[in-house]
Amino acid sequence: MSSGPLSQKLFATAKQYIPGGVNSPVRAFRNVGGEPFFVRRAKGSRIHDVDGRVMIDYVGTWGPAILGHAPQVVLEAIHDAAKEGISFGIPNPYEVDMARTICEWVPSVEKVRMVSSGTEATMSAIRLARGYTGRDLIVKFEGCYHGHVDSLLVAAGSGALTHGNPDSAGVPRGFADLTVVLPFNDPAALEELFEKRGGEIAALIVEPYPANAGLILPKPGFLQLLRDITAKHGTVLIFDEVMTGFRLAKGGVQELEGITPDLTCMGKVIGGGLPVGAFGGRAEIMNMLAPDGPVYQAGTLSGNPVAMAAGLAQLREMDKQKGYDKLEENGQLFEEVVLETLTKKGLGYRWYRKGSMFCLFFTEREVHDLHDAKTADLAAFRKFFHYCLEHGVYFAPSQFETGFMSLAHSPDDILQTAEMAAAALASL
Ligand SMILES: *Cc1c(COP(=O)(O)O)cnc(C)c1O
C-alpha cells in the first residue's frame, strides 16, 4: 500500500532533516518496500495515521504498549507526577518504589539501577560484568539483538571459536575481537568455546527467548546449560529481558523457566511508553557500581519521576487485572485461528507464540536459529504485510520481528485480524 498524501509529504520533509527520514532504521520500511505512514494518534488497539487511516496495531511501539496505547491509568500517573515537577536530578520516591517492585517481581534481581533505554541497560551490564570478573571477553548469540552497543553490534566470524566481525561501520575491530558470536540452540559450540576460553569470558549475554529475529524459542535444556556452564567458569550470565521482561510474566522468562541469571536487562514495558531501561541482579555484583564500587555508570534522567510513575502505573495495572493470564487467553485464541487457517490453506509456514508474543515465519522449516529464520520467503512476507496494512492491520514491517498483543486487543479485534490474515494468505 502506498502511504497517504500527508504521510508522503511529511516523509519528504523528514528526509531533508533526519537521516533516512527516521529516528530508528526499521521505521523506514526498507524491509517491505514503500514508505512509512506517520501516526497522529494511538489509543487502545488502534493507531490512526495523519491521513485518517485506522489500523489494528500488533507492533505496540515495539513492545512497551502491553495495556494498549495511551491507557487511562498511565495517562493519569504521568499527569499527577508531572504536576509536581518533571525532572529533579536528585533522588525521588518513585524510583524507590520502582526498584522495590522490580526486586519483588523479578526472581534474580536483588538490586537494580534505572537507565533510559534498553541499549543503556545492556551496555552498562557488560561493563559491570567486565569490572566484576576482571575479564574482557563477551559471548553473544547470532540473531539476538541487544541494542546498538559497540561490543554487541558484532556478527559471527568464520568459525564458532573465532572473534566476531563488526556488524556496523564505526565499530572498531578491537571491540569485535572481544566478542564471540555463537549460533543459538547449539550446545556443542558453546561447550567447545568454554572449554577453550572459559577463563577469559566475562559475560554471556542472551535473549532467553530471542525476539529480534522473529521469535525463536530455546530447545529444552539450552537455558539450563547456559546457567551451568557460566557458573562453572565464573562467567556472568546476563539475561537480556528488555523485550520479554514484564511482557510474558511478572518475572519474565527467568520466572517461566526457573533459571536464575546473574544480571538482567530490562526496558520497553517497564517504562509504560516513556524512555526507561534498567539492569539488576545479584547484590554482590551490583555493589561494584559507583558510588559503592569502581564501575562507573550514571545518567542525568535516570529514575526520572514522570517515567517511573508511568512505568509503575502500567506494571500495577497488569498485576491488578491479572493481565498475563488474559494475554495468554488472547494468544491462544489468535493461535487457534491462525493454525486453522494455515491448515485450511495447506500452508506449512511455522508459527511460534509465547503468551502475547508471536511470529509467523514464511518458511516450512522449523526455526531454531537465525540460519533457519533466514530461509523465510521474504517476497511472500512483503505481500502479506502490504495486504494486511491495506486492510487495516499493522504487523511489524519485517519478517524478523515479533508481533505483540495487548490487553486492549478484544476477541473481536483478534477474529477480525485472523479473517483478514486468512485473506492475505489466500492472496499470495
Ligand atoms: C529493544 C531491545 C533492546 C534495545 O532497547 P532500546 O530501548 O531500543 O535501546 C535491547 N535488547 C532487546 C532484547 C531488545 O528487544
Domain of 20, CATH number, reads 3.90.1150.10
How many angstroms is it from 110 CA to the middle of ligand 1?
22
For residues 350 and 314, membership in a common domain is answered with no
One domain for residues 231 and 327: no
Distance 118 CA to ligand 1 centre (A): 4
- Sheet with strand 46-49: strands edge to edge: 39-43, 46-49, 54-57, 393-394
Helix (H, G, I), strand (E, B) or coil at 310: helix
From 24, 122, 402, the mutation candidate for ligand 1 (largest count of ligand atoms within 8 A of CB) is: 122
Same domain, 137 and 262: yes
Q: Are residues 263 and 340 in the same domain?
A: no
Give 378: exposed, middle or buried? Use CB within 10 Å, 0-12, 13-18, 19+.
middle
pLDDT of residue 157: 75
292 belongs to the catalytic site: no
At which of 289, 319, 349 does a domain end?
Answer: 319
CB 41 within 8 Å of CB 47 = yes
Statement: residue 308 has pLDDT above 60: yes
Full residue range of the structural domain in which residue 90 is found:
72-319
Both 210 and 271 in one domain: the answer is yes
Provide the pLDDT confidence category of residue 360 given band limits of 50, 70 and 90.
very high
Q: Is there a single domain that holds both residue 41 and residue 169?
A: no
Residue 253 makes CB contacts below 8 A (sequence gap 6+) with 208, 209, 223, 239, 241, 244, 259
The residue annotated as part of the active site, out of 111, 140, 268, 354, is 268
- 159 against 191, higher pLDDT: 191
d(CA 247, ligand 1 centre) in Å: 13
Among 68-82, 247-261, 413-427, the least confident range:
413-427
Whole-prediction pTM: 0.97
Average pLDDT, the chain: 96
Residues 64 and 110 in one domain: no
pLDDT at 156: 82
Same domain, 273 and 370: no
Q: Is the pLDDT of residue 159 over 80?
A: no
pLDDT of residue 295: 98
Could you tell me the pLDDT band of residue 161, with boundaries at 50, 70 and 90? low
Residue 240 known to be catalytic: yes
Domain's final residue, options 297, 319, 341: 319
What's 299's domain CATH number?
A: 3.40.640.10
Percent of the chain at pLDDT > 70 equals 99
Q: Give the model's confidence band at 160: pLDDT under 50 very low, under 70 low, under 90 confident, else very high.
A: low
Q: Is 267 in the pocket of ligand 1 (CB under 6 A)?
A: yes
Distance 257 CA to ligand 1 centre (A): 21
Question: Which of residues 279, 294, 319 is at a domain's end?
Answer: 319
Q: Which atom of ligand 1 is nearest to the CA of 122?
A: 10
Q: 95 with 236, same domain?
A: yes
Q: Kindly state the percentage of the chain with pLDDT values over 90.
A: 95
pLDDT at 163 (0 to 100) = 78
Residues 299 and 331 in one domain: no
Query: Is the per-residue pLDDT at 428 higher than 90?
Result: no
Tell me: do 259 and 289 sit in the same domain: yes
Query: In the structure, what pLDDT confidence band is assigned to residue 1 with cuts at 50, 70 and 90?
Result: low
C-beta 145 within 6 A of ligand 1: yes
Q: Are residues 81 and 92 in the same domain?
A: yes
412 is an active site residue: no
The structural domain count of the chain equals: 2
For the CA of 243, the closest atom of ligand 1 is: 15
